[in-house]
Structure 1
Amino acid sequence: MVHQPTADGLSSTPSLVKQLLVVAAVATLGAAGTTGYTIWRSRIPHPNAVAAAASVAASQLTTVTALGRLEPRGEVIKVSASGTAEGNRIDRLLVKEGDRVKTGQAIAILDSRDRQQAALDQAQEQVRVAEANLAKVKAGAKNGEIQAQKATISRLSADRSNEITAQQAIVARLEIDRSTEIAAQQATIARIRAEQQGEIQTQQAAIARLQAELRNAISEDRRYSQLYEQGAISASTSDSKSLAAETAQQQLNEGKAKLNQIRQSRQQQINEAQAKLNQIQQSRQQQINEAQAKLSQIQQSRQQQINEAAANLDRIAEVRPVDIAAAAAEVSSAATAAKQAKANLDLAYIRAPRDAQVLKIHTHPGERVGNDGIV
């Protein structure tokens, strides 16, 4: 008898197949896992072997080198000097690496601090002077100042008169000295010329006498020569007369030479005396001109002083609004200069722009501030 499946049996067959497939898959995965685990366990080194390998590696390791960069969590700011402080050196450094600073805290002081402090002191002193001058202008001139200025004018007038009189006396004395020296030098020239004329005349008379003696000696020489030729006298007597004639000629020549010497030497003395006369005239005239120029200078300069003193008297005797305004402007200008000096002094102190920490110092005391700034 053949069994025919029913409808319920046909519907349960697929479900059984699925269950069999699941069981087969699980069995396969279990076998694979067991195999993999066995292989993995075979590759894991023994703990003692790992420790031995680590000990050997540690004995061979000497240096560990790596590249890296540390960066702060926030922003990095380079603090430097202002542009106007360029070229200054660091005088004092008030922080070190790792310090924390507050906003406005001084970090460094430039070497221009003392110079700027002196400039500030001077500017403040100028303010005090300008303020004192303004107060004086507002108060007006005192009666004692007016009287003192009048006395100054009187003194200047008297000094001018005395100096003019003294300088005029100097000019007169120089003119007298010039006239006296000129007259004396002219007298010297006249004396030399008179002496020249007298010596020339004396020498000319001597030459005339020598010429007469020469003529007589020549005549005697001729006469004795004839007598010698006639045998009336000896040769020595005739020769003596010839020698006398030659001597007279030589004396005559010397007399003429002396006459020329007298003329030349005396003329030289006259020329020198005339040159000295010209020098006296020029030098004395130069002194007179300089004295007169000084006289004119005294007159003008003293008059200028008197005019200035009179103008000052008018100025101090009147208090004008324009003077007060000018003095006030001087005070304002001095105050502005003091503010500028204070600002310049502040530039000598390098301060932290915000709360931060000093990471690196680029400029140390004595060094100029470079492109990297100070910190």
Structure 2
Amino acid sequence: MQLNPLVISRKYKWTLALIVLALLAWPIYSQVISRSSKLQKPEVETPETPAAPAPTIAALGRIIPKDGVISISGAGQLADVRVIELKVQAGDDVTQGQVLALLDPFYSQQARLTRAQKRMAVAQSQLEQTLAGDAKLGDLAAQEAQIANLEAQVRTEVTEKQALINRMQAELVNAESSYQRFQTLYNDGAISIADLEDKQEEFEIAQAQLNEVEAQLENIQSTLAQQIRRESATLDKLAEVRPVDVAVAQAELEEATAAVAEAEANLELARVRAPVAGRVLKIHTQAGERVKFDDGILDLGQTQAMYVLAEVYETDIARLRPGQAATVKISALVEFLQGTVEQISPQIDQREIFNNDPALGIDARVFEVKIRLAPSDSQKVEQFIHMEADVTIQSPPESSSSSI
């Protein structure tokens, strides 16, 4: 079948016309679409990307006073001792050097110190007397007169006592004779036993009185003789002062002074003093009990400055610096506590603080970090020593961190 060439020619003309029309209309259509899209979608400025929040370091910790809990015991030289007096109670605030307790050697050491001080005073006086040099004539005369008075006193008192002894001896002879006579009468039945006992008592009293007076005479002779010898020795010292005497007196004083120092040191060992100012946290040994080897006498804490001892994983330690801010949360308080990193331990160790998270390794290696709490927050946690705390430490960006 053959197509009519005229028909074919008409079809091509219409197709060509449509193509030409489409090409002419396309630019206009594009402009309309573009304007329409601009009207429907106004330009919106792209906001700046917000800065990423500062990274943080999370750790577990516990509340402690400054320098931790201090266990107070007696001196190491005093083993197995007993507390005889406790000067403080739990909760008391104490100052540095304050006496907390007395140990059982205290009173005996105090007596030794008193004796040593008296010996030193005597030695000092003797040295001063020795160093006085040549005595004045008046001092020599006074000393000689003192000796003469003592000798006269001896003669007078001895004479008086001797006369009394002679009289009492005569009375004793009479009493003995009377007693013997009454014995004979009693044997003959002339007197009663009561009469005989009366005479026996008179005889025994006379004998006792005589013995007493004789003892007094002997004591007078001995005492006054000793005083005379002492005063005579003083007279010799007044008359002459030798260098050797000065050396001896000086040595005696030095020895007495050393004895006082030793007694003071031993007495101080029996006192238990506070090494720092703080608060008594717990009493382990009461008065009358022996000091416990493991616990000591009491626990002391510097609660005027409270800290958090945090355990930071070794992988985070490079991002820590003293001075970084920290936030602390404990279960006993609703509010968060604020603190500052103060010290980072240079030694790595294993964890000692654990929680119930099984994902945290028990054998993890950590650094101890001390965080000082703000003064107002320190007062809030004074009663929560050793309580567990959740710690969040603000750290610098990774790019600015460097190895410590």
Normalised by the shorter chain, which TM-score bucket? 0.3 to 0.5
TM-score normalised by structure 1 residue count: 0.41
TM-score normalised by structure 2 residue count: 0.38
The structure carrying a bigger helix percent of its residues is 1
